[in-house]
Amino acid sequence: MNKQWRDMGVLLGAIGIANIGEWIYMIALHLLILQETGSVLAVTAVYMLRPAATLLTNGWSGSLIDRVDQRNVMIGLDLCRALLIPGLPLALFSGHMFIVYVMVFLIQMAQAIFHPASMVYITGLIPVRKRKRFNAIRALLQSGGFLLGPAVAGLLFLVGTPLFSIYVNALCLLLSALLTMCLPRLPKKEEGKGNSQKPFSISLLKEDARLVIRYSLASRQVMAVYLLFGVAMTVIPTAIDSLETAFAKEVLMLTDTEYGVLVSIAGAGIITGACVNSVIVEKLPVSIMIGMGSLFVAFGYLIYAFSSTFLVAAVGFFALAFFLAFANTGFMTFYQTNIPVEVMGRVISFYALCEAVLTIGMTGLVGGMAHVLSVQMSVMMGCICMVLTCMLLCFVIFRSLTVRKIVHHT
């Protein structure tokens, strides 16, 4: 029992340190690129590398993750990023922007692989009865990273420079790798005869794609919840968030200071929701956390979309941020419980690839609507789609006793 809690503590420590380091890295890198190039477009290009890396990586990474030691993958990816990140300023100061983008792309690829690998490892390491509590604490750490990361970056800028902050992130990743080394290896599951001996090839990737499709067809209700949640909580919000600054400036007519306060209110909502979630998580069924949590997030977006004053927008921002921890904790617990760990890497990677394609398409559609119609009309329509998707998600979750059996009250 003590060892289980020790392992959970070490894992949470590694996740928390890496998460704070990632925020420091993002802010410092954007500042450095802007300082060196003076181009907003150069910074925008960095944002575009994340979905591009996901598209290139997630088609094959799941096949690799399910066949290797996930703990070693996590350690290796942390070390790779810790080595690549200090090289970014050198390339940037030398004026080699192409090399900078290549290195950032490789770092984003490592992050794209790290997420499914860590989820497979967490599912195998954490006992079923402790997953909800672990996921709630993890959501709290991620929320803390959202607030602490920029705050720590600001303090580092006061005592040093963005360059110093880049090196601090490399040290965070190195520390995360060292903590992960203290964790146990997962026992290997027995595979079909000769299956583990198959070479990594195009034919193997095709075979794995067919396996994911077969699994999805055999587990329609589970994957319907998975896909609908991804659309409602990742695809549509990303598209809406791409117009956030334009909405604040052109619709709400906020000053830079007021916009900063609005973002801070969202941060307060995230940390408050995560704290409340971590306290009452054991009393809430997973079905309620996913269904009601996502629906209240969508209503928060709807309040924000139809707002015309700072106060109403602030209420919407706080509400959507507050309920985000409940929805995410429920969803993580749901798929950890219902997707077999042996195929989890392939399933997560496949659907992450689908989400990346949908996100790019949805973001382009919302941006086009904002150009043709108006920013507020585009945001309103996006939020209405989000609410309808969440209602469909609730219907799928609650429609029958069969589904209630799928959504465990762990």
Q: What SS3 string covers 201-265?
A: CHHHHHHHHHHHHHHHHHCHHHHHHHHHHHHHHHHHHHHHHCCHHHHHHHHCCCCHHHHHHHHHH
Helix axes 131-159, 2-37, angle to 10 degrees: 40
CA–CA gap between residue 310 and residue 264 (Å, rounded)? 13
Contact 54, 112 (CB under 8 A): yes
Q: Return the pLDDT at 264.
A: 76
Q: Return the pLDDT at 20.
A: 75
Q: Return the pLDDT at 408.
A: 47
Of the candidates 41, 60, 26, 2, the one whose C-alpha atom is nearest the C-alpha of residue 345 is: 60
| Type of residue numbered 300 | G
Q: Return the pLDDT at 402.
A: 46
C-alpha separations of 282 from 134, 229, 292, 330, 409 in Å: 11, 21, 16, 11, 9
CA–CA gap between residue 131 and residue 334 (Å, rounded)? 10
Of the candidates 122, 203, 161, the one whose C-alpha atom is nearest the C-alpha of residue 24 is: 161
Q: Return the pLDDT at 14.
A: 87
Q: Return the pLDDT at 385.
A: 94
CA–CA gap between residue 79 and residue 197 (Å, rounded)? 27
Residue-by-residue pLDDT tens, the chain, 410 positions: 577 778 888 888 888 888 777 777 777 787 788 778 777 667 767 767 877 888 888 778 888 888 888 899 999 999 999 999 888 888 888 878 889 889 989 998 888 888 888 888 988 888 888 888 888 888 777 766 656 666 666 666 666 677 787 888 889 899 999 999 999 988 765 544 444 456 667 788 888 888 889 988 988 888 999 999 999 988 898 888 878 777 887 888 877 677 777 877 887 888 888 889 888 888 888 888 999 999 999 999 999 999 888 899 999 989 998 998 899 899 988 988 888 888 888 888 888 888 888 888 888 888 888 888 888 898 899 999 999 999 999 999 887 544 445 454 44
CA atoms within 13 A on the CB side of 197: 3
Contact 396, 224 (CB under 8 A): yes
CA–CA gap between residue 383 and residue 365 (Å, rounded)? 13
CA–CA gap between residue 118 and residue 386 (Å, rounded)? 28
| Type of residue numbered 17 | I
Q: Return the pLDDT at 162.
A: 74
- Count of C-beta atoms within a 10 Å radius of residue 375: 21
Residues in the chain: 410
Contact 42, 34 (CB under 8 A): yes
**138-148: string of b/e by CB count within 10 Å (b at 16+)?**
bbbbbbbbbbb
CA–CA gap between residue 44 and residue 30 (Å, rounded)? 9
